[in-house]
Structure 1
Amino acid sequence: MKKSVGQILGRTGIRIPLILWSIAVLYPIFWMFLGSFKSNAEIYRNPWGLPETFNWQNFADAWTNYNIDTSVFNSLIVTVVGAALTLVLAIPTAYAIERINFKGSKFLFTLYVSAMMIPMVLGWIPLFFLLMDFGLLDNIFGLAIVYAVSQLPFTIFVLTSFMSTIPKSLEESASMDGMSPYRILWKIITPLSMSGIITVTIMNAIQFWNEYFMALIFLQTEGNYTLALAIDYISSEAQYTNAWGTLFASLVIAIVPVIILYAIFQQRIAKGMTEGAIKG
């Protein structure tokens, strides 16, 4: 009896702070959703209450008057291209580091891991002039390249952990059957590492979708703005035009895809990170 009471008290002591923290995090999001359906007058009159009527005009204004449609398309292009390019560069690199014993492989892996500790802000000025020299400044594809390179260390670190759990006997058997190293990589190693690939792809995609500072530095034309920059523009405009409902609607447009993506793949992400942390 004492043990069961102690367990109940212990679990309650853990759950209460978690519940309070969840409320503190979720309530502003819930308030933002409600605000996206209110008129400006209603936001000022009853900021914490439920909307009298669900007004979809805020979403229409954000989509058309503030070019959210273009910004969503730009963010989608940057996210897809950046995530795909990251995989194209990271998968062969991780395989070479983990499976091919060449001189300096351990040093190269250490170099990539060390790069994760370097603040990205230190490279923004050199990257600005580098993109300018290559004609990729104020270009969403140039931004996608920067995103891909910035996430290479993390992606390689995770994928090497997954590849290390694959038995080498499979590669040896495939090699004896006449498969080249490239076919072994794409036909055997990549499918068996799919859990890790999906995990890093989702995490990278969420990072690229939400990124703000590099987009602010490397994009200059309003037509090339990503969603984060468009929301920042609406935020500055809302101070003078009172377009708070439009701002809330644009925020909802930005976070709903991330919430849906994470809700669908949260178990796979947790499983993938757990499997990647266990080296065979």
Structure 2
Amino acid sequence: MEKSVGQFLGRTGIRIPLILWTIAVLYPIFWMFLGSFKSNAEIYRNPWGWPEVFNFNNFSQAWSNYNIDTSVFNSLFVTVIGAVLTLVLAIPTAYAIERINFRGSKVLFTIYISAMMIPMVLGWIPLFFLLSKLNLLDSIIGLSIVYAVSQLPFSIFVLTSFMSTVPKSLEEAAAIDGMSPYGILFKVITPLTMSGIITVSIMNCIQFWNEYFMALIFLQTKENYTLALAIDYISNEAQYTNAWGTLFASLVIAILPVIILYIIFQRRIAKGMTEGAIKG
């Protein structure tokens, strides 16, 4: 009896802080969702209450009046292109470092790992002038390239951990059958490390979709704004136009894809990161 009471108290002591933390995290998001359906008058009159009528005027105004539609396309473009380009560069590099014994492979891997420790802010000014020289400043293509390069160290680190678990006997058998090194990489190694590839892709997509500072530095015209910059612009405008409902609607548009993506792939993300940590 004493043991069961002690276990109950122990579990309660753990659960209560977790429940309180969950409420503290979820309530602002819930409040933002409610605010996106309110008029400005309702927000000022009853900021914490339910909307009198659920309407989508704020969403339509954000979509048309503030060019959120263009910003969504720009964010989707840099996210997809950046994620794909990261995989194109990271998968062969990780395979070469892990499987091909060449002089300096360990040094190269150490450099990539060390790059994860360097704050990205230190490279913003050189990147600004480099993109300017290449005529890629104020370009979503240039921003996509920067995004891809910035996530290379992390992607290579995770993928090498997964590739190290693939038995070399499979590669030797494929080579005996006449498969080329590229065929071994894309037809043997890549399918067997798909869990790690999916994990890296999802993490990179979330990072690119939410990124703000590099987009602020490298993009200059509103037509090229990503969603984060567009929301920042609406936030500044809301101080003078009282477009708080439109701002909340824009925030909902921004975070909804991330929430849906994480809900769909949360188990795969957790499984991939755990397997990578254990196998690495």
How high is the TM-score relative to the length of structure 1? 0.99
1:149, 1:275 → 2: CA distance?
25
Structure 1 CA distance for aligned equivalents of residues 60 and 248 of structure 2 = 12
1:75-121 per-residue CA deviation (whole Å, 9 max, x = no partner) reads 00000000000000000000000011111111111110110000000
Render the CA deviation track for 1:149-199: whole Å, top value 9, x for unaligned.
Answer: 000000000000000111111001111111111110000000101000000
Q: Quick one: distance in 2 between partners of 1:10 and 1:36?
A: 40
Instruction: Please show how residues 29-48 of structure 1 align to structure 2 within 5 Å.
Output: 29-48=29-48
Corresponding position of 1:259: 259
Moved more, 10-19 or 79-88: 10-19
Correspondence list, 1:204-219, <5 A: 204-219=204-219
Distance 1:3 1:112 in 2: 51
Q: Aligned pair 1:106/2:75, yes or no?
A: no
Q: Quote the Cα distance in structure 2 between the aligned partners of 1:162 and 1:10.
A: 38
Query: What percentage of aligned pairs have identical amino acids?
Result: 85
Q: TM-score, normalised by structure 2?
A: 0.99
Structure 1 equivalent of residue 238 of structure 2: 238
Does residue 202 (structure 1) correspond to residue 202 (structure 2)? The answer is: yes
Match of 1:145 in 2: 145
* Structure 1 unaligned regions, length at least 5: none
Q: Secondary structure at the match of 2:137?
A: coil
How many angstroms does 1:279 deviate by? 2.3
The superposition leaves residues 198-231 of structure 1 with CA deviations (integer Å, 9 ceiling, x where unpaired) of: 0010000000000000000000010000000000
Partner Cα separation in structure 2 for residue 87 and residue 237 of structure 1: 38
Worse overlay, 269-278 or 1-10 = 1-10
1:16-73 Cα distance to aligned partner (Å, 9 max, x none): 1110000000000000000000000000000000000012100000000000000000
| Alpha-carbon distance between aligned partners in 2 of 1:126 and 1:3, rounded to the nearest angstrom | 63
Q: Note the 1:1-280 alignment, pairs <5 A.
A: 1-279=1-279
> Secondary structure in 2 aligned to 1:38?
coil
Whole-Å separation in 2 of the counterparts to 1:111 and 1:131: 23
Report the Cα distance in structure 2 between the residues aligned to 1:116 and 1:27, rounded to whole angstroms.
Answer: 33
> What are the superposed Cα offsets for residues 219-268 of structure 1, whole Å, 9 maximum, x if unpaired?
00100000000000000000000000000000000000000000000000
Could you list the structure 1 runs, at least 4 aligned residues long, displaced by more than 3 angstroms after superposition: none
CA distance in 2, matches of 1:140, 1:241: 29
Q: When the two structures are aligned, how many residues end up with a matched partner? A: 280
The Cα of 1:11 is off from its aligned counterpart by 1.4
AA at the equivalent of 2:38: K
Secondary structure of 2:271 counterpart: helix
Code of the residue aligned with 1:246 in structure 2: it is T
CA RMSD of aligned residues (A): 0.7
